[in-house]
Amino acid sequence: MNTTSATGLRVLAVDDVPAALDDLCTLLREAPEVASVTAAADPLSALKLIRGGEFDAVFLDIAMPGLDGLELGALLRKLASPPVIVFVTAYDEHAVAAFGIGAVDYLLKPVRAERLAEALTRVTRMAATEEPAHSRATPDAMAALPVESGGRTRYVRRRDVLFVQAQGDYVRLHARSGVHLVRMPISRLEEYWEGAGFVRTHRGFLVALGAVRELRSDSVGGLLAHTDLGDVPVSRRHARQLRERLLHAARQGELEQRT
């Protein structure tokens, strides 16, 4: 990542729709944190500009012909000194993938000035880091999941989620703040969260080990993991692994973290 210039951020804006690109560039140029704005009308042009110059941040559209914004973002993350990435799109269903790539924010069109200001604050914080990108620890992009509603983004923290329920291509996050619907298969979320204490108990459920108060039997002899927000079914296939993980967590004192 390039160190921010003394006068502000050097930003590249990428969108294949001319009017949308013009609007984004105008908003960026009006922001006090931004020193310069360069426009690119397609991902390949953007890639050439990035390879030929220095940018602190790239504001990327997602739905573009050829190489889409997510693919370009994934390529940028492989650079030795990648710019900070912010996605700007009309669609909310790509938010999880965007944060999985390592984006610092996800803006919905039409972009409001106050939301852009929030994004630029995050960009400035990241771009001001002087350490080379390869020497920093990779940020845990899935420590919080973005939930889009009514043009606003709220973040559901993983540590506040007690269990997860599959619903087709979506998951329901059962958290202390309520139930939140996120477009993401449960198998993909399991990949991200299994290292953070979440265990599959059933083909349609994940549970946080620290949220399990006890294991109990249901009326037909099945096993349930009891949490403060309800019971989670445990299939025979997953029962042994859950018991072993709970025993290990208890020995490590990890079951006390959610009390």
List the domains of the chain with CATH numbers. 9-135 (3.40.50.2300), 144-256 (2.40.50.1020)
Instruction: Print burial letters for 174-201: b (CB count within 10 Å at least 16), e (below 16).
Output: bbeeeebebbbebeebbebbeeebbbbb
| Residue 11, strand partner residues | 37, 57
Query: How far is Cα 241 from Cα 236, in angstroms, rounded to an integer?
Result: 10
Cα–Cα distances in angstroms (integers) from residue 205 to residues 63, 83, 172, 176, 178, in the given order: 32, 37, 10, 17, 17
pLDDT for 158-193, tens place per residue?
A: 999 999 999 988 899 999 989 998 888 888 888 888
Higher confidence at residue 221 or residue 10?
Answer: 10
pLDDT greater at residue 14 or residue 220? 14
List strand residue ranges (DSSP E) for the chain, in order: 9-14, 34-40, 57-60, 84-89, 105-108, 144-149, 152-157, 161-167, 170-175, 178-183, 198-202, 205-208, 214-217, 223-227, 230-234
In this structure, the number of other CB atoms found within 10 A of the CB of residue 215 comes to 15
Q: What is the mean pLDDT of the chain?
A: 84
By CB atoms closer than 10 A (0-12, 13-18, 19+), residue 18 is exposed
CB 62, CB 70: distance < 8 Å: yes
> pLDDT of 8-63, one tens digit each?
899 999 999 999 999 999 999 999 999 999 999 998 899 889 888 789 999 999 98
**Cα 69 → chain centroid:** 15
Question: Token pair of 135, please?
Answer: 């020497």
pLDDT of residue 131: 45
